[in-house]
């Protein structure tokens, strides 16, 4: 441990597995106090046993504003401040033809992948203004599918592209208002998690120049940088971690 995040308090959504858990592991290693949230709390005791005493778990539906209010209240009660918010929670697309996509499915993925990031920004900024001297770092986990269209994930690409521009606009607005709250997006390529359908894996591998998928900790490490003071001049930026796929 090098204590790059020592003294900082972070909320990481969608932290029960995959990329979110990888980020949480890196944050705890670097000395942060971490609030892991997820709608799935079945393995919460195992997660906390793994992360140690500097972490707590809160069940959280990121698409509901009142649940954001509760998570922020619990975070402040436990740790007294908020320095970092990682908007990571998300779901995959339907994989179907756009003309066959039910409006109900569209609204669901929009709420989980994009509206939740707006709600997180709103709650996180207010908490940072009130409890953290109007300073902090907000990291939105987008995707390479937010930079180029994913043909078998039209709805997913739309939400991740929306997250990208929400990040840009929020970052510029905060900076121009004189608030030291940075907002950046991270764009993972193919990371080896359960969100990738098994029948797509063999088609995906040849598209990755380095020859293999990434692991959740690969995203965790860039999030350590963005959460730390090392990245104090980075805001409104896109950080692509994709094994060279878009090079």
* Structure confidence by residue, pLDDT tens digits, 30-63: 999 999 999 999 999 999 999 999 999 999 999 9
pLDDT at 192 > cutoff 60: yes
pLDDT at 1 > cutoff 70: no
DSSP-assigned beta bridge partners for residue 214: 191
Residue 192 belongs to some domain of the structure: yes
CATH of the domain at 40: 3.40.50.720
* Structure confidence by residue, pLDDT tens digits, 158-191: 999 999 999 999 999 999 999 999 999 999 999 9
Give the active site residues: 156
- For residue 81, the enclosing domain spans 9-241
Residue 246 belongs to some domain of the structure: no
* Structure confidence by residue, pLDDT tens digits, 133-159: 999 999 999 999 999 998 878 999 999
Dihedral Cα 70, 50, 17, 199, nearest 10 deg: -170
Structure-block tokens of residue 77: 């009660």
Please state, rounded to an integer, the average pLDDT across all residues of the chain: 96
Residue 160 belongs to some domain of the structure: yes
- In sequence order, which residues have a C-beta less than 8 Å from that of residue 108 and are 6 or more positions away? 91
Residue 193 belongs to some domain of the structure: yes
Residue 119 belongs to some domain of the structure: yes
Residue 1 belongs to some domain of the structure: no
Residue 247 belongs to some domain of the structure: no
pLDDT at 197 > cutoff 80: no
Residue 49 belongs to some domain of the structure: yes
The total domain count for the chain is 1
């Amino acid at each position: 441990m090098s204590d790059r995040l020592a003294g900082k308090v972070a909320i990481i959504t969608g932290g029960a597995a995959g990329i979110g858990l990888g980020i949480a592991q890196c944050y705890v290693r670097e000395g942060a106090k971490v609030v892991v949230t997820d709608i799935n709390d079945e393995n919460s005791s195992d997660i906390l046993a793994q992360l140690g005493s500097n972490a707590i778990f809160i069940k959280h539906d990121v698409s509901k504003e009142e649940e954001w209010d509760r998570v922020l209240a619990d975070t402040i009660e436990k740790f007294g401040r908020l320095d970092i918010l990682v908007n990571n929670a998300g779901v995959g697309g339907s994989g179907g033809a756009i003309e066959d996509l039910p409006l109900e499915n569209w609204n669901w993925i929009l709420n989980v992948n994009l509206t939740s990031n707006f709600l997180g920004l709103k709650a996180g900024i207010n908490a940072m203004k009130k409890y953290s001297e109007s300073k902090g770092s907000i990291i939105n986990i987008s995707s390479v599918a937010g930079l180029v269209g994913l043909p078998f994930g039209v709805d997913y690409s739309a939400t991740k592209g929306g997250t990208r521009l929400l990040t840009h606009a929020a970052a510029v607005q905060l900076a121009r208002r004189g608030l030291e709250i940075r907002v950046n997006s991270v764009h993972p390529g193919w990371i080896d998690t359960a969100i990738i359908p098994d029948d797509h894996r063999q088609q995906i591998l040849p598209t990755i120049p380095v020859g293999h998928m990434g692991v959740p900790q690969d995203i965790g490490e860039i999030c350590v940088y963005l959460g730390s003071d090392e990245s104090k001049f980075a805001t409104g930026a896109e950080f692509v971690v994709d094994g060279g796929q878009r090079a």
